[in-house]
Structure formats: C-alpha cells, structure tokens
Amino acid sequence: MELTEKEKGVLILAARDSIESTFGEEKPPIIDYNYFPSLAQTGPGAFVTLTIHERLRGCIGYISSDKNIFETVCDAAVQAAMNDPRFPSLTEEEFVHTNIEISILSVLEPISTYEDITVGLHGMVLDYGYNRALLLPQVATENNYNREQFLTALCEKAGIYPYTWQEKILDIKTFTATVFSETGNRKKTYEQN
C-alpha cells in the first residue's frame, strides 16, 4: 500500500497517542478522514513494533483487519505496549524512550516453491496444524538471514522442528510491507492540510 509521508506521520502520531492514552493522560486519537481518506480503507493488516535503545520491547499486529488502517494501527500499538506476552506492560517511564515502527501489510500470496521467497522483500506466514507464525520482512535483513535461516526462524517461531521446511513444502504465504518508523525528532507535527 502506498502512503504519503504525511499519512505515515499521522499513523506514527496516532500510535504514540494511543499508547499514551493507556496511561490516562491523553484521550485516544481521532482523525478527520476527509483529509486522509486512504487511512479509512479496511482490509490491510498492520503490525506495530516497539523498541527501546534498538532492543525489542513489544510487537503485535494483525495479518488482516475488519477495521480501517488508522484504527488497526491504534489498536496494534496498544496491544504491543500492554499485551505482548513476551514482556510486561510498558511503563510510562519506558514510553519516553520507546521508538515506534509500523508495518502495513500487503495481501498474502501462497508460494509454490521456497524460491518464491525474496529475503528482504517478503515477510512470511506459516500455518502448520494449530500453529501459526509470522515474520516481518525486516526480521531477515535486521538479522542478516539468508532464505534458509529465515525459514528456520519461521519454523522455530511456530514452535515446530526448525528444519521442518527441509522435509516438505510448508503452507507458507508471503507478503510485502510498507515499513516506517519514528526518526530523530518525535515532536515533529504533521499538518492536516
């Protein structure tokens, strides 16, 4: 999905305001969809990744959503901050140092061979019985994974034997993502006109 810099800025600010509202000091964000009609689209999934000093602090999202993009990002931000089972809820003190990254997902595409996976471009979703796992495209580049390492990490995340992918073609779907994050000046404002 193509987003303008202004739309990306609105989503970053909305994610930050959504998390801040959980501390009781701010109201949840609202938006005028007349200014940003593309953020009213439903369907695309979104993930919000939180880091502190470049270390993961939470990441939750949705592969697809019945909500519009704006609401999906706001919800994912709160879930990443407060309900990622790998971490305790984010504190207000930590929040000051938290960087927000948003990934807006494309539709899922099934693969017929592992050669269909382009490392750095594709994220992957694996369904294996009752197990499901997702790795965003940036996971491979951030960890310098090749295709084989990426597939192994996906299996590990799904809680199955890490090399199951070598035994058969798994039910993997790929997607691309529009990824953007806060940079240097978090106080930057994005005007609506």
Q: Which domains does the chain have, with CATH numbers?
A: 5-106+177-181 (3.30.700.20), 109-175 (3.30.1490.150)
pLDDT tens track for 43-100: 889 999 999 999 999 999 999 999 999 999 999 999 999 999 999 999 999 999 999 9
Q: Where are the beta strands (DSSP E) in 41-154?
A: 42-52, 55-68, 98-105, 109-110, 123-128, 131-135
pLDDT tens track for 40-50: 999 889 999 99
Can you tell me the distance from the alpha carbon of 76 to that of 47, in angstroms, rounded to the nearest whole number? 6
Instruction: Name the phi and psi angles at 82, rounded to 5.
Output: -110, -20
How distant, in Å, are the alpha carbons of 11, 20, 43, 121, 184 from that of 25?
Answer: 19, 7, 31, 39, 24
Nearest to 61 by CA among 39, 79, 44: 79
Can you tell me the distance from the alpha carbon of 122 to that of 36, in angstroms, rounded to the nearest whole number? 27
Decide if 13 contacts 77 (C-beta within 8 A): no
pLDDT tens track for 118-160: 999 999 999 999 999 999 999 999 999 999 999 999 999 999 9
Torsion, CA 30, CA 34, CA 37, CA 40, rounded to 10: 40
pLDDT tens track for 2-54: 899 999 999 999 999 999 999 987 788 899 999 999 999 998 899 999 999 99
